[in-house]
Amino acid sequence: MQQALREARKAYKAEEVPIGAVVVKDQRIIARAWNQVETLKDATAHAEMLALTAAQNATGDWRLEGCTVYVTKEPCPMCAGALVHCRPDRVVFGLPDPAGGAAGGWINLLDSNPPLNHRCETAHGICEDECRVILQTFFREARARKKQQKLEARIRAEMEKEAAEEAAKGEE
């Protein structure tokens, strides 16, 4: 999970929602990825999706049997669906997401066989605090940045208005 957090920090530095994932097989990391939705302008570029593709490239097989996927936050429905398709043995996530998580938080697509044709063993709570704090910090900073930009825009607009008024006075 520390390695997944390292990926999350890369996302943070790139001003992406800081979520990271790694895929482990035979005690070895075979794929690592961070959320790149903004970078790639692709709403499907969640850390898990990119890590799954990288793991499949690394093994030359779409079936990730014997693999464990570590991700800092509970997978969303899209990622959970993709995980089931790729069939890793286990999915371990840090921070649960009771509102939108699809590994038991809101729904559980990883443990829905049948009707889905694979079941991933899950575990969570690993480094949960670190996984939470990096997200909280990111969103707090993003909110502060937005507030700052709004204020700056207001000040600029005021100054432009005043300059226009001055110019109009000058013409009188």
> Annotated binding residues for Zn(2+), as ranges?
46, 76, 79
**Quick count: other Cβ atoms within 10 Å of Cβ 29?**
15
Q: Applying CB under 5 A, does 32 fall inside the site for Zn ion?
A: no
Residues 6+ apart with CB under 8 A from 46: 19, 35, 37, 75, 76, 78, 79
**Residue 15 annotated as catalytic:** no
8 Å CB contact between 70 and 77: no
Q: Which is nearer to Zn ion, 80 or 168 (CB)?
A: 80
88: DSSP letter: -
Q: Which is nearer to Zn ion, 91 or 152 (CB)?
A: 91
Closest distance to Zn ion from the beta carbon of 47 (Å): 8
Contacts (CB under 5 A) with Zn ion, residues 73-112: 76, 78-79
Tokens linked to 132 = 């939470």
Q: Applying CB under 5 A, does 46 fall inside the site for Zn ion?
A: yes
In degrees to the nearest 10, what's the CA dihedral of 51, 27, 111, 73?
A: -50
The span from the CA of 121 to the CA of 91, in Å, is 6
Tokens linked to 112 = 């829905």
Q: Per-residue x/- marks for Zn ion, 121-140, CB under 5 A?
A: --------------------
8 Å CB contact between 46 and 32: no
Closest distance to Zn ion from the beta carbon of 33 (Å): 11
- Summarize the annotated binding site as residue ranges: 46, 76, 79
- How many positions of this chain bind Zn ion (CB under 5 A)? 4
Catalytic residue among 7, 16, 48, 74: 48
**Quick count: other Cβ atoms within 10 Å of Cβ 162?**
10
Q: Which is nearer to Zn ion, 66 or 100 (CB)?
A: 100
Q: Applying CB under 5 A, does 71 fall inside the site for Zn ion?
A: no
Closest distance to Zn ion from the beta carbon of 75 (Å): 5
Q: Catalytic amino acids? A: 48
Q: Summarize as ranges the residues that interact with Zn ion (CB under 5 A).
A: 46, 76, 78-79
